[in-house]
Amino acid sequence: MDPIPQEDLPSVSEASRRVVREAKAAGAWIFGGGVQRQQSTIVATDGTTTAGPVSETKAAIGGFSVIEVASREEALAWAARLAAACRCAQEVREIMFDPES
Per-residue pLDDT tens digits for 15-71? 999 999 999 999 999 999 888 777 788 999 999 999 887 666 566 678 899 999 999
Q: What is the DSSP letter of 88?
A: S
pLDDT at res. 1:
47
- pTM, 2 dp: 0.79
pLDDT reported for residue 45: 95
Helix boundaries (H) for the chain: 9-25, 72-86
Instruction: Name the phi and psi angles at 23, rounded to 5.
Output: -65, -40
Q: What is the chain's Cα-based Rg?
A: 16
* pLDDT value of position 83: 94
CA 4, 58, 81: angle at the middle one, nearest 5? Answer: 50
Q: Which amino acid is at 22?
A: E
